[in-house]
Amino acid sequence: MSKDFDDFVEGLQNQIYEETRTNYGQVAFQRWLKPLYMGAFDNPDGHGRIRGSCGDTMQIFLRFENDKVKEASFQTDGCGSSTVCGSFAAELSLGKSPDEILDITGEVILKELGGLPEEEKHCAFLSAEALQEALNDYMIKQKRRETEKPL
Ligand code: FES
């Protein structure tokens, strides 16, 4: 490839990065570049899967130890903002008890990542909803385990 073409591509990439940083802020930009906690894991204690009104799906996977989240991850087929929000939803749940997870709302996620443009705020609420669904799944399984215990 010619150097001119390489320079053109690099210039374009830098422009996209700059626009993204300006529109989304430094915290969200960094997380978009490096989305932590991405990917499913096998046999989660809690799994939530929600399809938003935008048509995108968010999944959250939780593993508990001593009733606190030991491992968390997300998976989405959605936009860049949903990737950032899913990543923060997973991160915020780490080390938390079920009661503490209840406090992780869309607003909390938005605050953590420094806000989003109005039309993308719903991505944070979708992530929070998937997290609450994963918690719900964990609680149901816990209850089932308790009732199945021999007397
Ligand atoms: Fe659908 Fe972001 S999750 S647009």
- CATH code for the domain of 94: 3.90.1010.10
In a domain, 56, yes or no: yes
Pocket test for ligand 1, best of 57, 76, 77, 82 (most atoms within 8 A of CB): 82
Question: Is the CB–ligand 1 distance for residue 78 below 6 Å?
Answer: yes
In a domain, 40, yes or no: yes
Q: What is the pLDDT of residue 149?
A: 76
Q: Is the minimum distance from the CB of 81 to ligand 1 under 6 angstroms?
A: yes
Q: CA 59 to CA 54: how far, in whole Å? A: 15
Q: Of 124, 130, 34, 48, which is closest to residue 81 (Cα–Cα)? A: 124
- The total domain count for the chain is 1
Q: Backbone phi, then psi, for 74, in 5-degree steps? A: -135, 160
Residue 20 lies in a domain: no
Q: What is the pLDDT along the chain (151 residues), one digit of tens a residue?
A: 688 999 999 999 899 888 888 888 899 999 999 999 999 999 999 999 999 999 999 999 999 999 999 999 999 999 999 999 999 999 999 999 999 999 999 999 999 999 999 999 999 999 999 999 999 999 999 999 888 877 6
Query: Which of helix, strand or coil describes residue 122?
Result: helix
Q: Which domain holds residue 93?
A: 34-148
Asked, for residue 8, whether it belongs to a domain, the answer is no
Rounded distance, CA 13 to CA 102, Å?
Answer: 39
pLDDT attached to residue 1: 61
- Residue 78 maps to a domain: yes
- For ligand 1, whether the C-beta of 57 sits within 6 Å is no
Question: Has residue 5 been placed in a domain?
Answer: no
Ligand 1 within 6 A of 134 CB?
no
Residue 76 belongs to a domain: yes
Domain assignment present for residue 17? The answer is no
Query: From CA 87, how far away is CA 85, in angstroms rounded?
Result: 5
